[in-house]
Amino acid sequence: MALSPERVTELKLRANDVRQGIVRALLSAGSGHSAGPLDMSDVFAAFYFHILRHDQKNPDWPKRDRLLLSCGHIAPVRYSAMAYAGYFPVDELLTLRKLGTRLQGHPERVRLPGTETTSGPLGEGLAQGVGMALAAKTDGQGWRVYVVTSDAEHQCGLHWEAMLTAAKFKLDNLICIVDRNLIQIDGSTEDVMPLEPFADKYRAFNWEVLECDGNDIVAFIDTIERAQQVKGKPSVIIAHTVPGKGVSYMEGDYTWHGKPPNAEQAGEALNELEAERARILAHA
């Protein structure tokens, strides 16, 4: 379904909100991951403001779609998107990683309703999503399961076991989204433990493979809609992203994988994001 220009502008502004929320949260925390949350802001804005069937006032609504974050270290992007979607006050983002907060460094399901799973150990998310998708099929339910994964966690064996299981049970209600930003904490994925030919690996496991620019909201939504039409097999969307997207001094730099900006750097980032917001509105 084609998006109106007004809707596209709204979604781009939402992604900008999410990025600004991430920067403010990380500055307040004094620790955390920057590159991944920023590069997935467009994807999470698309999910929370367009794609998902969900109810922020009733996070446990039985008919909701399930969105799982396997790579829990990029939690700030989920928290920021949830805050702007109305799950909790935006000001609560400033409690990120603080003692007693609901916004832990990795999501904790029992602390924050709507997060679906507790995540931290990489490689587990797809297996959890497979279980949920299989349960939905068994119970004849129409909700979908979306699992956001990092590319580097494909170095974990459990993920590949889950891929086998999803294909065996023909889980066409399951869509995996891979943040293909090519980085991990020690450098490039292709230097640490090469993943290419990446798409071919999924095809060999009998998955439908789609690829898109993960920093283009319209392209991502179009690709999700294509994946939703696939029958008889699970789908994966390889979303090509730029680490640290939206903050020029972070973009493409793996050293921002696991560190926050300081006050001066955060100020520069927020200024850039405000300038981008002005450009979006000028072209509306």
Average pLDDT rounded to a whole number, residues 193-204? 97
User: What is the pLDDT confidence band of residue 197, given thresholds at 50, 70 and 90?
Assistant: very high
Residue listed under structure tokens 């099929």: 137
User: What is the pLDDT confidence band of residue 2, given thresholds at 50, 70 and 90?
Assistant: confident
Tell me the sheet residues that pair with 180: 240
Which tokens belong to 39?
């590069």
Instruction: Give the distance, in angstroms, between the CA of residue 28 and the centroid of all CA atoms in the same chain.
Output: 22
For the CA atoms of 101, 107, 111, 115, the dihedral, rounded to the nearest 10 degrees, stands at 130
Poorest-confidence range of 64-78, 111-125, 138-152?
111-125
CB-based contact 173:145 (threshold 8 Å): yes
**pTM for this structure?**
0.97
Closest CA to 205 of 225, 239, 176: 176
**pLDDT for 216-275, tens place per residue?**
999 999 999 999 999 999 999 999 999 999 999 999 999 999 999 999 999 999 999 999
The CATH fold assigned to 5-282 is Rossmann fold (3.40.50)
Q: Please say if the pLDDT value at position 284 is more than 90.
A: no
Q: Please say if the pLDDT value at position 122 is more than 80.
A: yes
C-alpha neighbours within 13 Å on the C-beta side of residue 165:
16
Q: Please say if the pLDDT value at position 1 is more than 80.
A: no
**75 CB burial (10 A radius; 0-12, 13-18, 19+):** buried
